[in-house]
Structure formats: C-alpha cells, structure tokens
Chain A
Amino acid sequence: MADMIWLVPLIPLLSAIILMLGSAILPRLLIGLLGVGSVGLAALLTMLLGLEFLANPEPFQLSLWTWMQVGNFSPSIAFYFDGLTLVMMSVITGVGFLIHLFSTEFMEEDTSYARYFAYLNMFVAAMLVLVMADNLLLLYLGWEGVGVCSYLLVGFWYQDSANGQAARKAFVVTRIGDTAMALGLLLLFTELGTLDIQAMVGAANIEWQVGGTLPLIACLLLLGGAVGKSAQLPLHTWLPDAMAGPTPVSALIHAATMVTAGVYLIARTHGLFLLAPTAMMIVALVGLATLLMAAFTALMQTDIKRILAYSTISQIGYMFLALGVGAWTAGIFHLMTHAFFKALLFLGSGAIIHYLHHEHNIFKMGGLRTRMPVTFWSFMIGSAALAALPMTSGFFSKDQILLQAYQFSDIGPLLWFGGLLGALLTAIYSFRLVFVVFFGKANTEPEGDTGWRMAVPLITLCTLAMIGGYFIIPVADVFPVASGDHPAHWVEYVSISVPLLGVLLAYLIFQSRQLNVDRWVSSSVGQALRRFWLSGWGIDWLYDRAFVRPYYRISGLLKNEPIDAIYGLVVAINQTFNHWLVESQTGRMRWYVASMVLGLIVLLTLALQIPALQPTEGAS
C-alpha cells in the first residue's frame, strides 16, 4: 500500500491534464465527475494510507527516480511520509474533496467549468507534492505550483481587469517571499551539501551551533518564504485582494491549504529553527503582530469575504505564534481545525453569495436565519469554532497555543496576553458577522437555500468543525515533546472565558443594541480609527507610496530608454551629415567640378600657408 503513495498526487494531476486538453469536448457531467472524482479517489487512497500508518506508525521514504544530476547535487523525486505528512494530506484531499463537490453547484452556470476544475485539480496535485516532498527542491516545485494555480484561480474571471490586478498582486507579493526562500535553499545546500530534509536537519545539528549566525540566516530566509505564502506581516497584503477569485477557491487555497504552506514549511524544518532561538522569537512576534493587526482590520470590514480573509490572516498568525514558542503540535493542530472551520465559513459565504445575487456587503444581507437554515447553522458552528467557544474544535487548538505561549520564556505572558486580545477580537468580529448577516430584518431576498451538493460539504464540515478538537494528530514522533507542566489554573480559566466575553460584547453591540457605541464611532477619533483599520492599517497605502509608485516612476523614466539616447545621438548626428551630403549629390557635373576646384584651392592655400608643408630648401 505504501508504495502506491505516488498515486495520490498523480490522480488529480492526470485529471487536470485531461480536463485541460478536453475542455471543449467533455460534457459537463463528465467534467464534474472527473474533477470531483479524482480528488475523491486521492482522499480515499490517503485514508487507506492513513489507516495503515496508524496501525504501524513507521515513517517511510519512497524514492522514484533521480530528478537531475549536477556534480554532487542530485535531488530525487522522492516522497516522505510521516504523521505530519498524513495530517496535511488528509486536510488537502479531504477538505479539497468537499470543496470540489461544493464547486459543482457553485460554478454550475459558469462557462469555463472545465478550466475551473482543471486548475483546482492541478492545485491539489501541486499542494500534495509540496507536503509529500522528501527534499526541499521538490517542495519548492510544489510551492511554486500552488502559487501558479493560486494566480490562475484568483484571476479566474479575467474579463474583469480588477481580478487580473488582484491575481498579479498575489503572485508578485508572494514572489518576494519565494525569492528569500530560494536564497535560503541555496544557502542550505552550499553549507550542508544536501537538500533532503531529514539528512539536512541531521547535518545541521552536527555542524551548526545553537544560536549561531548561519542557522539564523537560513531560518530567516525560510521564514521569508513562509511569510509570503502564509500572508503574514509584512507580506500579507495580497490575501484580502485574492478574494477576487471564486469563493470555493478562497476556501480551498486561501484558507484551508495553500496559505498554511508556510506553517508546514516551518514545522517541517523545525530542526533548523530549534538551532536559531532568535529566529523562533521573530516567528512568534510576526505571528502576534499579524494576528492583532488582522483582527482589528477584520472588525471594520463590510465585505463578507474580506472579513474572512483578514480572519484567516489572523488565525495563521496564531499558528506562527505557536511555531515561534515551540508548540509545534498545537500549531499543526490549529492548522487542521482552522482548515475545517474556515473552509466551512468560506463555503457558507459562498452559498450566501451564490444565492444572494453576488452580494458581498454584509449590511445588505440580514435576516437569513430562517431563509437559509443550512447556511445559518454552518455559520453558527464555524463562527463558534473560529471564536474558540468551548467544546468546538477551535477551542482545543487555540487553547493549547495560548497555554504554551504563556509558558514561553521571558515574554511568554506578553505573547499570551496578545493572543488573548486577539481571541477577544476574533469572537467579536465573527459574531458581528453572524448577527448582521443572519439576524435582523432581511434586506435582500435569497433565491433559496443550498442544494445537496452544497449542503453535503457544509454539513460534513460542520461535523468536523465540532468534533475536530477530539482528533489526536499522529505527530508525536515528528516533533520534540512539549513540556508537560501546566500554567496556573487561572490562566486556563481566563483563556476560556475571553471568547465568551467577546460573543457577549458582539451580541450587546450588534444584536440587542444595549451597548451603544455610536457615540464613540462617530467621534472624530473614532472615525479616524475606523478608516485606519478599514484600510488594513494603511499598509496598502504605505506600500503603494513606498514601492509601487516609485517603481512606476522609475519605469516611466526607463521607458524612454535614457541610456539608449546617447547612442541615439550618434545616429542622429550621422543622419544629419548624411542629409547634408545627400543634398550635395545633385548629379550636376559642373557643381562637382566647381567643388573639386574649390577644394583644390583650399588645399593649395593651406599648403602655401602652413610652414610644415613647405618644400625644404634642398629639394628644389
């Protein structure tokens, strides 16, 4: 069974190729069957692999062939399978399958049905390669593959130029991180002589000292890649714009799987990060800063998908925080539960958008509770898990993160407090969404509730979002064991009660309106703050001024090719002379003769005037 692992990414890839080639001739039913079926088959295979692995938890490696051979550099196409891979593969194929199924209804009327599923299948294949890769180069292949698919899918409705713009932004911003990561790969190879992850970490532990400079640089470069892909500060600006793509795409790529690739990368190379405590500290601080920034921003958004996008950024911030404090298991656990409940929320919003005439503004919705019951309950459960209300999946993972952050040396309580503030904000903004969209009076009438192809994924994900917290992920052998001691009980009680407080606040502000905040909001400070947060802390504006416009200005200058102008001058002078000489070429013999005579006279005069040309005395 284990030898069949290569089939898992191959099946979606084959399906993608078939869909690309046959997009014009395949009937719609077959397209849907191929697109959903291939991922379903991959999920089934993953499940079988997982059952076998759980019975006999022994990591194994499968080397297919040598990719290339250059000197002592010979990366192979090889897969590595352990508990972490299994978790990632299950999330990708499982949640991926549900989202594919959802898409068949969501994209029902779209003309580019085959193209959509081709991209989506290709994405799944690339993402599987990313998490199954045994060496960093193959991982990088998958890493770029998902980037391309993300670009293609964000700009899926390319007829609108704004979507193309968003896709380009997503591609370019992540590219900055990817460049850092490529540099990190080169550094690791030159220093350690291999890119095989297991061998590399082993070699690093022998050759490098804890706290040395080289591991720090290598880790920071890898972190650069992770920050770009996972939309963390300062490279997070692409994710809110990436919401231009179809909503199931946002659910799969920009919430459940691709954006967590950075988390996976750091978790996979945790052996390196353990050698660089400073880098880990930076990871934690990046996570904390991002989660707070994004939570404040999410509080102000009015576009349902942008709220969820900022919430995704914020939740990945929690994962980074977990990785930074060494809570590897908790980070990956949160990755998994987040995939469940955020996919659920995105699919729910997709259902709303689909049946509400493509409305994105939450203040134009309202009262959907009775009209779209399946969606309502999905959102309730998803938001509860997102806010980490007790007994939901999000509660277990976030609680672990906060507790372990508290125990982190020196700044632990600070990290914990920041995370707690984020949790409060998370509860407020997620239930603000629920109260505004599903309660109150209806502003727009939906066309109906979800059909079965939407309802089945929603209900399945609801179940997962509820019980996901009880799963025990098989990564005990992958990560070093976390310390067993618990912080004081009050820490735990506070962590539990803060989200409840947030929900209560959201209820008082947005539902019962007993807590009137209008006076604050309408004050000048409140207005300024609102605009500041609405614009995402002005970071887009800042980048626009700091990078985009100077770049445009420089390219505007270079467009006229100032260096070329020098050579152009030479050409112009030559051409001018040429024109003059052409004018003299009249074809009139007598002019020629006259000019010859003139020249002769000039030369003779010169010869007689210049002493050096005079004949010497003895010559005559």
Chain B
Amino acid sequence: MEGLNIPLNHILLVSSLLFSIGMLGLMIRRNIIFILMSLEVMLNSAALAFVAAGAHWGQPDGQVIFMLILTVAAAEVAVGLGLVLQVQRRFKTLDMDSANRMRG
C-alpha cells in the first residue's frame, strides 16, 4: 500500500482521545450549543475509528458506515438546533441546568 503508513493503534488512540474529550465536554459544559458540539466530536471520533478499521482490513464497510454516521449527525444537528431555538425562546437561556424542569 502506497503513501503514509500510520499504524492502526495510533489512529485508534486519537479516536479514543477525541471520544473522551467529547464526553468530558458533554459532562461538564452547561451551554446546549457546546453540548451539541461535544456530541459531534464524539460521533466523528467513532467515524474515524470506522474509517481506520476499514483501511486496515482493506474493506469498504468502514467508509459505508462513515457515510451513515455523517447522515445521522446531520439529522441530529437539525433536530438539536431546532430544540436549541425553542429552549432559547421559552427560557431565555441556553443553560441546561436552569432549563431543567424535571424533578426526580
């Protein structure tokens, strides 16, 4: 195989690093926009892992799944942003905790 030959392990490391960053963001940010962005990062880290695995085994499946993830992410963002707009309109804030009406 031509070109750069990055070992699979490195790519997976980067992918899990990205995933952890996304999850950390999800856990500690309050702003909904940032939460959505963290989600996006997590999705893409998973997609990266798929692509890397596909390249490693020389299979097209990884890229097929990447396309699927891309679609899911687009749909998710569309719904998510719609929700963000509604939250902003109703609560006049984007702070997740202050918009919380649920009490266990």
A585–B97 Cα distance when bound, in Å, is 14
Complex partner residue of B96 from A582, A589, A597, CB under 8 angstroms: A589
Complex partner residue of B101 from A584, A585, A586, A587, CB under 8 angstroms: A587
- When A582-B104, A583-B104 are in contact, do A588 and B97 touch as well, CB less than 8 Å? yes
Main secondary structure of the interface of A (DSSP, over half): helix
Q: Are B23 and A593 in contact (CB under 8 A)?
A: yes
Residue of A nearest to B28 (CB): A590
- Give the chain A neighbours of B27 by CB distance below 8 A: 590, 593-594, 597
Q: Is B1 interfacial (CB-CB < 8 Å)?
A: no
Q: Which of B50-103 contact A (CB under 8 A)?
A: 96-97, 100-103
Q: Is B26 interfacial (CB-CB < 8 Å)?
A: yes
- Give the chain A neighbours of B103 by CB distance below 8 A: 586-587
Q: B87 CB to closest chain A CB, in angstroms? A: 12
- Give the chain B neighbours of A585 by CB distance below 8 A: 102, 104
- Give the chain B neighbours of A588 by CB distance below 8 A: 97, 100
A587–B96 Cα distance when bound, in Å, is 10
Q: Are B102 and A587 in contact (CB under 8 A)?
A: yes
- Give the chain A neighbours of B100 by CB distance below 8 A: 587-589
- Give the chain B neighbours of A582 by CB distance below 8 A: 104
Q: B26 CB to closest chain A CB, in angstroms? A: 5
Residue of A nearest to B29 (CB): A590
Encode contact with B along A551-589: 1 for CB under 8 Å, 0 otherwise. Answer: 000000000000000000000000000000011111111
A594–B23 Cα distance when bound, in Å, is 9
- Give the chain A neighbours of B26 by CB distance below 8 A: 590, 593
Main secondary structure of the interface of B (DSSP, over half): loop
Residue of A nearest to B20 (CB): A597
Q: Are B96 and A586 in contact (CB under 8 A)?
A: no
A589–B96 Cα distance when bound, in Å, is 8
A540–B77 Cα distance when bound, in Å, is 89
Residue of A nearest to B100 (CB): A587
Sort chain A's interface into a size bin.
10 to 19
- Give the chain B neighbours of A593 by CB distance below 8 A: 23, 26-27
Q: A593 CB to closest chain B CB, in angstroms? A: 5
Q: B28 CB to closest chain A CB, in angstroms? A: 7
- Give the chain A neighbours of B23 by CB distance below 8 A: 593, 597
A597–B104 Cα distance when bound, in Å, is 20
Q: A291 CB to closest chain B CB, in angstroms? A: 79
Q: Which of A192-233 contact B (CB under 8 A)?
A: none
Encode contact with B along A592-605: 1 for CB under 8 Å, 0 otherwise. Answer: 01100100000000
- Give the chain B neighbours of A586 by CB distance below 8 A: 103-104
Encode contact with A along B9-40: 1 for CB under 8 Å, 0 otherwise. Answer: 00000000000000100111000000100000
A468–B28 Cα distance when bound, in Å, is 110
A588–B26 Cα distance when bound, in Å, is 12
Residue of A nearest to B101 (CB): A587
Q: A281 CB to closest chain B CB, in angstroms? A: 80
- Give the chain A neighbours of B97 by CB distance below 8 A: 588
A586–B104 Cα distance when bound, in Å, is 5
Q: B20 CB to closest chain A CB, in angstroms? A: 9
Residue of B nearest to A590 (CB): B27
Q: A618 CB to closest chain B CB, in angstroms? A: 16
Residue of B nearest to A583 (CB): B104
- Give the chain B neighbours of A584 by CB distance below 8 A: 104
A153–B51 Cα distance when bound, in Å, is 98
Q: B104 CB to closest chain A CB, in angstroms? A: 3
- Give the chain A neighbours of B35 by CB distance below 8 A: 589
Residue of B nearest to A581 (CB): B104
Q: A201 CB to closest chain B CB, in angstroms? A: 79
A588–B102 Cα distance when bound, in Å, is 8
Q: B49 CB to closest chain A CB, in angstroms? A: 15
Residue of A nearest to B96 (CB): A589
A478–B53 Cα distance when bound, in Å, is 113
Residue of A nearest to B24 (CB): A597
Please indicate which of the listed interface residues A582, A585, A587 has the most CB atoms of chain B within 10 Å of its own CB.
Answer: A587
A582–B104 Cα distance when bound, in Å, is 6
Please indicate which of the listed interface residues A585, A590, A597 has the most CB atoms of chain B within 10 Å of its own CB.
Answer: A590
- Give the chain A neighbours of B102 by CB distance below 8 A: 585, 587
Provide a sorted-by-A list of 10 A–B residue pairs whose CB atoms are within 8 angstroms: A582-B104, A585-B102, A585-B104, A586-B104, A587-B104, A588-B97, A588-B100, A589-B96, A590-B27, A593-B26
Q: Knowing that A587-B102, A593-B27 are A-B contacts, what are 17 other residue pairs whose CB atoms are under 8 Å apart, sorted by A's residue number? A: A582-B104, A583-B104, A585-B102, A585-B104, A586-B103, A586-B104, A587-B101, A587-B103, A588-B97, A588-B100, A589-B100, A590-B26, A590-B27, A590-B28, A590-B96, A593-B23, A593-B26
